[in-house]
Amino acid sequence: MVKAADQAELSPMQLSFSRCLRRFREALTQGVPAWVHAERTALFYLLEQLGLCKLPWQSGKVKHEPRKVRRRPESFPALKGDREAARKHLLAEMAQ
């Protein structure tokens, strides 16, 4: 991807990893067109195709966002102590 970005005069961060992977996988499974073998090398063609896999421009995107997740509310209380003791306590509450 770095060579493809360099050839396309882009930053490697501007290329989509998923799109590049998809194009590379297509080239491995389906091969390259026949005219590529006649005119130039397959590597040059592949680098050219990978250079076209630019990320879409996102207007409201913040450049550096922290990789954190909000804590979701727990639906059940936390288990404190021994599970067997908690089971006995629950059975005692249900018997009342």
C-alpha 27/C-alpha 25 separation (Å) is 5
Tell me, yes or no, if the pTM score tops 0.85. no
Confidence of residue 18 (pLDDT cuts 50, 70, 90): very high
C-alpha 25/C-alpha 45 separation (Å) is 14
**pLDDT, tens digit, 9 for 90 and up, residues 72-96:** 777 887 888 899 998 998 899 988 8
52/37: higher pLDDT: 52
C-alpha 54/C-alpha 15 separation (Å) is 4
C-alpha 28/C-alpha 22 separation (Å) is 10
Confidence of residue 22 (pLDDT cuts 50, 70, 90): very high
**pLDDT, tens digit, 9 for 90 and up, residues 48-76:** 889 999 988 877 777 666 677 777 777 88
